[in-house]
Amino acid sequence: MTRVVVVTGAAGAIGQAIARRLLQDGDAVVGVDYDAERLTAFANDAGITPIAGDLREEKTLLGAADAAARQGSFGGWVNNAATFPRGRLSEMSAEEVDQALYGNLAPVVHGSRIALERFVAGGAGSIVTITSIHAQRASRAWPLYAVAKSGAEALMRAIAIDYGDQGIRANSVAPGLIRTDANAGFVEETRTRWEAQGRQLRVGAPEDVAAVVAFLLAPGAHHLNGACIAVDGGEAVASGSDW
């Protein structure tokens, strides 16, 4: 029976790369995103099942899980959707803080919860969450993103402990700077600053992240649980902390 994987944030660059890689590996994919137009266009091109909706709403997440269960053996859930709140904490309003934390962490918590309900009933499953090297390394003007991603990594470790004996694994992938159409300006801004400091910037591609996600979902990663793999060209272990 074909394995089915849910990928959230499937209309974005990294989400699309993950979905395409899983399809290439023989999985079926249910893609979830709030951007219905972009998601539909990608679904028509790639051949995934689209579920458009707000990932903070349970009906969207349940719809994705139900769609996956109807197609085959529902065995994977990828928490990829994210927002990118940038700014120093004192310069953000209470509403901006709440939106940043809720928008980044709630879909991971509730998506994982719904996936776990199905995986426990089925006796197996794998969750992979896209976090960031910001979760473990301070960078200027990214405090809320770092808090949310740190929380997501902690959740994966907790799930690994609580559900590992039921055949369920939970791991994280922590990208560094990944070039997409949406962040090209930020990439160049960062490159200019690093060059002025005499440092070299390593920039990855969405496919680099997708390859590690596919590995963690595959049977060959059966002994990895509660792990976090940095996909950053070595940036997390490099000297200096100013992105």
> Among 48, 153, 147, which Cα is nearest to 102's?
147
87, with CB counted inside 10 A (0-12, 13-18, 19+), is middle
102 catalytic per annotation: no
The neighbour count for residue 55, using CB atoms within 10 Å, is 23
| CA distance linking residue 196 with residue 206, whole number of Å | 26
Q: Which residue has the tokens 């934390």?
A: 101
170, with CB counted inside 10 A (0-12, 13-18, 19+), is buried
Among residues 34, 102, 145, 163, the one annotated as catalytic is 145
In DSSP terms, which residues pair with 178 in a beta bridge? 204
The answer to whether 171 and 226 are in contact (CB under 8 A) is yes
- Helix 94-122 × helix 58-71 angle, to 10°: 30
Q: What residues are annotated to the active site? A: 145
